[in-house]
């Protein structure tokens, strides 16, 4: 296992009906800007529940944060926070609202053009406003980590940032808040959490059995509950709760501590979203199976471990077991209603070329745990996903 530091200050408040505890979690004298996405938080009643819990604190609400949040929208919020003097941000939503809130928290005190935060991946963030989260969509893990992703459509750019100043102070995780999610968003959540785990697990062995077994537990839980969640007519509390906790644990630093990490599937996926506005998880479902197949030699030992321990594939040659593990992964995504080929989204060779150009523009030319995913490798991956 490699050396590491682990620090995660986010307090998790988990369970049914716990939104009321925002009354204690948010400082009593705070002037709070509540941030929401489109209309879901209002329609589901979560927004009024949050307002009720905040009592007579001074509050404002900013709605309209898009899925794959837009830089310009965040900048409107930054202006409003500065003008009206809010001193606490409360994100009510999924990864997009949380990421936007993180960016706004960093941008308000930032000296200079906040676009620089994204150009430097957050390394230039010196401070941030305090913020908390009321989670409505389990997927990204943003509720317990210090990273985010912001899109600037006019530049076809989707860039990530992180900083030690950007952990939420707290996140309220109420699994019943997921009951209103459309099937597609549930499937997206399962896929995103699955791929987060794979990006940190499926690299090369470094004698980190705790991280490995923990990652395998997360993957196996998702394999068990995923198809059930997307097929169920009625929401099941226990499955919703498991999804929420898996998604949070998959990207809060625990399984990634002291192990090599890949993230090439994510980086290519971000370009696909920037160009074609595909859901984040959809891009991962397309890229991951092709990426694993392309890099089977570099990932051989971990792929075999994945085949045996996660999919229980014990028979056949090494090559057959690796193929079967990748096929199982693909079918798992497809079974939940997410096609895994670019063609299914009407994308073709010309679109592959555009993704490669964008990767080059963003210096994504040496991705992966050994930095060997060059533009040529990315091209092979995308072409094999056509
Ligand atoms: O906008 P509203 O009306 O609220 O509707 C949202 C949105 O349309 C809806 N929704 C959310 N909660 C709901 C609900 N609908 C009904 N009932 C509820 N309880 O769901 C739609 C999608 O929401 P969004 O927040 O965009 O989804 P997700 O949580 O998947 O977030 C995706 C974003 O997170 C980034 C992605 O790149 C993407 O921009 N990521 C963030 C990461 C991080 N911070 O660590 C890591 C991830 O890899 C990812 O890149
Ligand atoms: Zn993701």
pLDDT value of residue 362: 92
Asked whether 140 lines ligand 1 (CB < 6 A), one says: yes
Judge if the beta carbon of residue 278 lies within 6 A of ligand 1.
no
CA of 381 relative to ligand 2 center, distance in Å: 18
Sign of the Cα torsion 184, 339, 294, 363 reads negative
Distance (Å) of CA 204 to CA 12, 80, 208, 325, 361: 31, 47, 10, 16, 29
How many A from CA of 251 to the centre of ligand 1?
A: 15
Which residues, listed in sequence order, are joined to residue 92 by a DSSP beta bridge?
A: 36, 134
> What is residue 66's predicted lDDT score, i.e. its pLDDT?
97
Query: What is the distance between the terminal CA atoms of the chain, rounded to a whole angstrom?
Result: 37
Count how many Cα atoms sit within 13 Å of the Cα of residue 104 in the half-sphere of its side chain: 34
Distance 68 CA to ligand 1 centre (A): 7
Closest CA to 8 of 194, 171, 208: 171
Atom number in ligand 1 closest to CA 148: 44
Q: Which protein residue's CA is at the shortest distance from atom 31 of ligand 1?
A: 95
Tell me whether the CATH fold assigned to 11-177 matches the one assigned to 183-384: no
Q: What are phi and psi of 265, to 5 degrees?
A: -60, -45
Which residue in the block uniquely carries the two structure tokens 């987060």? 196
Please report the pLDDT score of residue 301 as a whole number.
Answer: 98
**Which pair of tokens denotes residue 139?**
């997927």
- The ligand that comes nearest to the alpha carbon of residue 180 is 1
Contact 74, 153 (CB under 8 A): no
Nearest CA to ligand 1 atom 49: 140
Give the dihedral of Cα atoms 349, 350, 352, 357; nearest 10 deg.
150
Report the alpha-carbon distance of residue 312 to residue 290 in Å, rounded. Answer: 21
Residue whose token pair is 């993957």: 219
Q: What is the pTM of this model?
A: 0.97
E strand segments, 137-273? 147-152, 157-162, 170-173
Among all bound ligands, the one having the nearest atom to the CA of 168 is 1
- Residue 95 Cα to ligand 1 midpoint, Å, equals 4
Best residue among 19, 34, 36, 37 to mutate for probing ligand 1's pocket (most ligand atoms within 8 Å of CB) is 37
Cα–Cα distances in angstroms (integers) from residue 244 to residues 41, 319, 339, in the given order: 17, 35, 23
Boundaries of every domain in the chain: 11-177, 183-384
In the CATH hierarchy, which top-level class contains the domain 11-177?
A: alpha beta
* Closest ligand relative to 94 C-alpha: 1
Residue 341, strand partner residues: none
Print pLDDT tens along the chain (386 aa): 999 999 999 999 999 999 999 999 999 999 999 999 999 999 999 999 999 999 999 999 999 999 999 999 999 999 999 999 999 999 999 999 999 999 999 999 999 999 999 999 999 999 999 999 999 999 999 999 999 999 999 998 999 999 999 999 999 999 999 999 999 999 999 999 999 999 999 999 999 999 999 999 999 999 999 999 999 999 999 999 999 999 999 999 999 999 999 999 999 999 999 999 999 999 999 999 999 999 999 999 999 999 999 999 999 999 999 999 999 999 999 999 999 999 999 999 999 999 999 999 999 999 999 999 999 999 999 999 99
Asked if residue 162 has its Cβ within 6 Å of ligand 1, the reply is no
Q: Residue 73: what pLDDT?
A: 98
Query: Using a 6 Å cutoff on CB, does residue 176 contact ligand 1?
Result: no
Cα gap 381→324, rounded to integer Å: 18
Closest CA to 178 of 252, 229, 251, 133: 229
* Helix, strand, coil content of the chain in percent (nearest 5): 55, 10, 35
Q: Is 318 left (phi over 0), alpha (psi -120 to 50) or beta?
A: alpha
Which residue, among 39, 38, 45, 57, has the nearest Cα to 19 in the 3D structure? 45
Assign a CATH topology to domain 183-384.
Dehydroquinate synthase-like, alpha domain (1.20.1090)
Rg, Å, the chain Cα set: 20
- Angle of CA points 245, 250, 256, to nearest 5°: 145
């Amino acid at each position: 296992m490699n050396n590491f530091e682990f620090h995660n200050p986010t307090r998790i408040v988990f369970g049914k009906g716990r939104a009321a505890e925002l009354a204690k979690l948010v400082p009593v004298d705070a002037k709070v800007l509540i941030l929401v996405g489109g209309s879901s938080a209002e329609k589901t009643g979560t927004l009024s529940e949050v307002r009720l819990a905040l009592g007579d604190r001074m509050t404002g609400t900013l709605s309209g944060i898009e899925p794959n949040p837009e830089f310009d929208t965040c900048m409107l919020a930054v202006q409003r926070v500065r003008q009206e003097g809010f001193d606490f941000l409360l994100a009510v939503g999924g990864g997009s609202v949380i990421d936007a809130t993180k960016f706004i928290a960093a941008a308000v005190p930032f000296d200079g053009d906040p676009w620089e935060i994204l150009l430097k991946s957050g390394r230039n963030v010196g401070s941030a406003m305090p913020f908390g989260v009321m989670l409505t969509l389990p997927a990204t893990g943003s509720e317990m980590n210090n990273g985010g992703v912001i899109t600037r459509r006019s530049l076809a750019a989707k860039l990530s940032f992180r900083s030690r100043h950007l952990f939420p102070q707290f996140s309220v995780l109420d699994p019943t808040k997921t009951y209103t999610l459309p099937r597609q968003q549930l499937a997206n959540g399962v896929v995103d959490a699955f791929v987060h785990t794979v990006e940190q697990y499926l690299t090369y062995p470094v004698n980190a059995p705790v991280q490995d077994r923990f990652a395998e537990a997360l993957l196996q839980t998702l394999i068990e509950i995923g198809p059930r969640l997307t097929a169920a007519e009625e929401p099941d509390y226990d499955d919703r709760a498991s999804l929420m906790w898996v998604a949070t644990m998959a990207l809060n630093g625990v399984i990634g501590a002291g192990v090599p990490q890949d993230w090439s599937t994510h980086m290519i996926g971000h370009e696909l979203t920037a160009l074609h506005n595909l859901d984040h998880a959809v891009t991962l479902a397309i890229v991951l199976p092709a990426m694993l197949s392309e890099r089977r030699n570099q990932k051989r030992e971990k792929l075999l471990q994945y085949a045996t321990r996660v999919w229980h594939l014990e028979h056949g040659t090494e090559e057959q077991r690796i193929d079967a593990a990748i096929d199982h992964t693909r079918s798992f995504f497809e079974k939940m209603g997410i096609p895994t080929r670019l063609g299914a989204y009407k994308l073709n060779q010309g679109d592959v070329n555009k993704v490669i150009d964008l990767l080059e523009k963003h210096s994504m030319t040496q991705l992966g745990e050994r930095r060997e995913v060059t533009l040529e490798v990315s091209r092979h991956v995308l072409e094999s996903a056509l």
